[in-house]
Amino acid sequence: MPTNLIGTMATQLKETDESGREILDSVVIRFAGDSGDGMQLTGTQFTQSTALMGNDLSTFPDFPAEIRAPVGTTYGVSAFQINFASHAIKTPGDAPDVLVAMNPAALKVHLKDLVPGGTLILNLGAFNARNIEKAGYKESPLEDNTLDSYRVIEIDISKMTLAAVEHIDVTQKEALRAKNLWTLGLMCWMYDRDRQPTIDWLNQRFGKLPLIAEANIAALNAGHAFGETAELPSEISTYVVPKAKVEPGIYRAVTGVETTCWGLLTGAQKAGLNIFFGSYPITPASPLLHSLSNLKAYGVVTFQAEDEISAVCSALGASYAGSLGITSSSGPGVALKSEALGLAVVTELPLIIVNFQRAGPSTGLPTKTEQSDLYQSVYGRNGDTPMPVIAASTASDCYDCAIEAVRLATKYMTPVMFLNEGFLANAAEPWKLPDTDDVEPFPVEFASETEGFHPYLRDEKTLARNWAIPGTEGLEHRIGGIEKDYDSGNISYDSDNHHKMTKVRAQKILGIADDIPEQEVVSGNNSGKMVVVGWGSTFGAIEQATRRCQEDGLDVSHIHIRYIWPLARNLGELLKGFDKILVPEMNNGQLVTLLRSEYLVPAESLAQITGQPFKVSDLEREIRSRMED
C-alpha cells in the first residue's frame, strides 16, 4: 500500500477576524475515544453545527466491529473525523490538524495520523496507569517524548464534567457520560460553533429524562466556558472558518443512507409504484432498512426477512405482484442472493439491489469500507446473466443513482445493482436539497391488453418485456426460471430459442448505453497524457489530487464512472485519447479489468485495500510518479 505520507496541513493564513479569531481556510478535526465515550455523537453534533455555519464539510466515522468493546482497549477505539472549510471540499481530509483523544488507547491508535505541530487535546482524567497499560504503552506517553512535536492541551475532562453537573441529580456514571459534551463545548468555543442545535437536540432526545438532558447541556456549556476563561497555552487560539461560497439553496447535512432512502422513494413515486423492501440486517446496510421502516405512511412495506435469500426472493415476488421490489445488503449477503438474481434476470422483473460494500473477503472487516464487489456485481452469477450496475460517488449522488436505478429497472424490466459503500453510508456531507419536481416522471404501464398477450412480449425499442400483474383479468400467465419461448413465453427447451433469448437479454442491457449520458471528463482535457479513472466514493479524493496536479501544470484528467454496466457508449473513444490510464480503486483492481477487456486499453491499477478512503496526498504522489514512468 502507499506509504503513509504526512497529510497536507490546513493552510493557515494567520489572519484574524474582528473578534480576534484566527481565520482558517479549512480544518480537519478527529474525535477519538472509547466506543462508550460517544465520539460518533460528538462528531455528528459538531457536524450539524458546522453545516449550519455554512462551511463545506466532509466526515469520516470509523468505529470498531465490537458493539461496546471493553473500556480502554485499542480495538475499542471509535473515531470521527470532520473536514470543514470555507471553500468546496470533497474528502474528510488526509490527516487531522486537531486530535481529541479521550483516553490513552485513542491516543495510541490515532496519534500517528496527526500532522506534525498539530493540536492534541487529551482527557487527563483517563490517563491513569491502568488505561496507559491497556493501551499498550510501556510508559506514560505524557511523560516521555511521545508528544514532543505537537501542541498539547491536557485537561482532566472527566473531573471538569463531574464538577459541571454536580448540582444535577444524576448518578456519577450518568454524569461522567456527559464528558463528550464537555469536549464538544470546548471545540465549539475553539471553532466558534453554535451550541444551540446541540442543546435543542439534547432536549428532544432526552425529552423523557430531563435530568440527563440538563446534565449534558451543563457539560456542553461548561466546556465552552472553560475555553473562554481558562488559561490555555499561548499557542492555542480561537479560530474561525468562514462560510464556504456554495450554490444558493436550502441545505442539510446528510449521509448516503438518507439520500438513498429518499431517492428510492422519489423514484418509486415517479414510477407510480409502491415500494416493497425485503432485507436482512447487515453492517453497513442495515440503516437503510431502519430508515425505510419509518416511511410506512408512503406505502412502503419493509420486511425483515429470515435471511438474504428470503429478502431478495420476497422482493422479487413483490415485483411480480406489481410493487417495486428492493433489497439491500453488503457483500456476503449479496453473494447469497446470487442464485435468485439469476431468476430475476430470466424472469425479467424490475428489482433493485443496493449493496453497501464493506471490506472483504468473507466477513472481512465489517465496519471498514471497500469497493471490492464490482466483480460480483458484473460477473457474479451462473450462466450468462447480465444486469445494469451503477455506483454512487457521494451522499448526494446516492439520491440521483437511486432514482436512476428505479428508472432503469422499470423501463427495462431488469434487476439493477446499485453499488453503494460503507463510507458513503456513514459519512455526512452538506446537500443542497433537490426539488422532486425537477425529476421527469417515468410512470409504469402495466399490461392490460389481452389481445395477443404473452408474458415475454417485448417493447421493440427497449426490448423490455411487458409487465402483467396478478389481479389483471385475462392476463393470467406463468413465469419461472426455465428458459422461455421467445414467441409465446411458454417453457421452451429449444436450442436455437435459448441462443436467441440469451442474446436478447444481453442486448437489452447493452442497449441501455443509448439511454444514459455520454461519459464526461470531470476535470482536465478530453485527451492527453494521463487520465485517472475512478468510480464510487473515491470521487472526491481523486478530483482533489488531479486538480492539484493540474494546478501544477500536469496534463492529467479525471474521469468518473457512474455506469459500471453497461459502460457509457463513448467511454472507449475517450479513454483511447490518453497515453496513460490510471485506475485507483479501494480493491485489488476490479474496474481496471473491465476497462481493459472492453476497450483493450492499457489501464493500470492503483490498489489500496486498507478499508480506509484514499488520502489525497497519496493519490497525488502516485499520479506524479506514474506520469514519470
Partner 1 sequence: MNVQSPPVALKPNDYASDQEVRWCPGCGDYAIVKAVQKALSNMGADPKNTVFVSGIGCAARFPYYMATYGFHTIHGRAPAVATGVKLANPDLDVWVIGGDGDMLSIGGNHTLHVLRRNIDVQVLLFNNEIYGLTKGQYSPTSKVGTRSPSTPAGSVDSPVSACVFALGCNARFVARSVDTNLKVLPGLMQEAKENTGASFVEILQNCIVYNDGVYSSFTDKANIADGQVVCEHGKPLLFGKENEKGLRMTPGKMELEVVTIGENGVTEADILIHDETNRPLALMLAGMQPPNFPVAMGVIFRDPGPSYDAAVYDQIAEMTEKSPAIPINELMHKGKTWTVV
Query: Can you read off the three cell numbers belonging to residue 21?
Result: 479569531
With contact defined as beta carbons under 8 Å apart, do 95 and 115 qualify?
yes
Strand order from edge to edge, sheet including 22-24:
12-16, 22-24, 239-240
Quickly tell me which residue has 474561525 as its cell. Answer: 240
Residue 78 contact among ligand SF4, its own copies, partner 1, none, beta carbon within 5 to 8 Å by kind: none
Query: Can you read off the three cell numbers belonging to residue 420?
Result: 453503494
Residue 600 backbone zone (phi > 0: left; psi -120 to 50: alpha; other: beta): left
Choosing from 38, 76, 333, 536, the residue that interacts with ligand TPP (CB under 6 A) is 333
Answer yes or no whether residue 282 interacts with ligand TPP by CB under 6 A: yes
Piece in contact with partner 1 (CB under 8 A), picked from 147-155, 432-440, 522-530, 614-622: 432-440
With contact defined as beta carbons under 8 Å apart, do 12 and 622 qualify?
no
- Cβ proximity to ligand SF4: between 37 and 400 the closer is 37
C-alpha gyration radius of the chain: 27
Choosing from 11, 149, 237, 363, the residue that interacts with partner 1 (CB under 8 A) is 363
- Footprint of ligand SF4 (CB under 6 A): 67-68
The nearest distance, CB 331 to ligand SF4, in angstroms, is 22
The nearest distance, CB 249 to partner 1, in angstroms, is 6
* DSSP assignment string, 279-347: E---TTTHHHHHHHHT-GGGT-EEEE-SSHHHHHHHHHHHHHTTSEEEEEE-HHHHHHHHHHHHHHHHH
Query: Can you read off the three cell numbers belonging to residue 305?
Result: 426477512
What is the per-residue binding string for partner 1 in 471-500, x denoting contact by CB under 8 A? xxxxxxxxxxxx-------xx---------
Of 172, 16, 181, the residue nearest 100 (C-alpha): 181
The nearest distance, CB 609 to its own copies, in angstroms, is 4
The helix (H) or strand (E) run that includes residue 217 is: helix 210-229
Query: Can you read off the three cell numbers belonging to residue 495?
Result: 436450442
Choosing from 411, 498, 621, 626, the residue that interacts with its own copies (CB under 8 A) is 498
Backbone angles phi, psi at 155, to 5 degrees: -135, 140
Choosing from 78, 161, 372, 420, the residue that interacts with its own copies (CB under 8 A) is 372
Of 384, 426, 383, the residue nearest 537 (C-alpha): 426
Answer yes or no whether residue 281 interacts with ligand TPP by CB under 6 A: yes
Answer yes or no whether residue 527 interacts with partner 1 by CB under 8 A: no
Piece in contact with its own copies (CB under 8 A), picked from 25-33, 266-274, 480-488, 617-625: 480-488
The nearest distance, CB 71 to partner 1, in angstroms, is 7
Choosing from 127, 239, 280, 614, the residue that interacts with ligand TPP (CB under 6 A) is 280
Backbone angles phi, psi at 94, to 5 degrees: -70, -50
Answer yes or no whether residue 503 interacts with its own copies by CB under 8 A: yes
The nearest distance, CB 68 to ligand SF4, in angstroms, is 6
Choosing from 610, 621, 624, 626, the residue that interacts with its own copies (CB under 8 A) is 610
Residue 298 contact among its own copies, ligand TPP, partner 1, none, beta carbon within 5 to 8 Å by kind: partner 1
Answer yes or no whether residue 125 interacts with partner 1 by CB under 8 A: no
Answer yes or no whether residue 237 interacts with its own copies by CB under 8 A: no
